[in-house]
A and B are shown apart, each in its own frame.
Chain A
Amino acid sequence: MQNLSELARRLISSQVEFVLVGGYAAVAHGVTLVTRDVDICCRFSEENLMRIQKAFADLHPTPRSRPDLPLELTPELCSRLKNLYLKTDLGVVDCLGEVLGVGNFEEVFKHSVEVQLPCGPCRILDMDALIRAKEAMNRNHDKMTVIFLKKIKEQQK
């Protein structure tokens, strides 16, 4: 059973510094395409990465590249990580240090909006930055997402 909203809720309640990006951000903006994972851009500090580890501790988090190994972050490992691709019992979470077409965490944060979720405030990449990111990725489903996002912008005028 996948529960991406619970993964987002845990990130918020664990006070992880992150911005929701990718397909799940598009869903939050209103896109009706279904996405299978949670992509976040986050600060890759030791403190923040340890918060992520703690948020998912009981969900058997493993690196997607080594699902046979439990996630065991150390200060040394944290200092080397640029991205962190996780598999958990509730779904996949990709933690990115930067977003193509937008930039590093600071840039992504600048181009994000805060929305109030029942579990607390959550920052989501804004519509224009998300369009830029999806155009930069340019895979087939990204192109479809861009069409949806532009349609939503039109509808909201």
Chain B
Amino acid sequence: MLEERDNDEMVLKESPRAYGMDADDIDLWLLQESLAKTPWERMQANDDALNFAESLRAAMKERHAKLK
């Protein structure tokens, strides 16, 4: 459920469980999505996530260097 804050920003007010997190804080929706893939597709998804994380790290590093 979205709720409006005083500054017009819409924020998610639902508990994590409401959008698919279980008692162990596992996102069951993401897990189902992963299980629907083949092992090879899962391995490639890991590569994509890893490279995306690396590119974010590099961008943050560059930003910090510029701010110095």
Interface residue ranges, A against B (CB under 8 Å): 1-5, 8, 24, 27-32, 34-36, 115, 117-118, 122, 124, 147-148, 151-152, 155-156
Contact = CB atoms under 8 A, between A and B. Distances in A.
A30 B31 contact: yes
A4 B50 CA distance: 10
Interface string B1-45: 000000000000000000000101011101110110101101111
Contact of A124 (B32, B39, B51): B39
B63 to A, nearest CB: 21
Contacts of B67: none
B51 A27 contact: no
A152 B31 contact: yes
A120 to B, nearest CB: 11
Contacts of A156: 35
Interface of B: 22, 24, 26-28, 30-32, 34-35, 37, 39-40, 42-47, 49-51, 53-54
Given A5-B47, A151-B24, A28 B42 contact: yes
A28 B39 contact: yes
A5 B40 contact: yes
Given A5-B43, A5-B47, A147 B24 contact: yes
Contact of A148 (B26, B32, B49): B26
A8 B26 contact: no
Contact of A32 (B34, B40, B53): B34
A98 to B, nearest CB: 24
A151 B26 contact: yes
Contacts of A152: 31, 35
Contact of B22 (A4, A30, A124, A151): A151
Q: Which of A1, A30, A36, A122 has the most CB of B within 10 A?
A: A30
Contacts of B22: 151
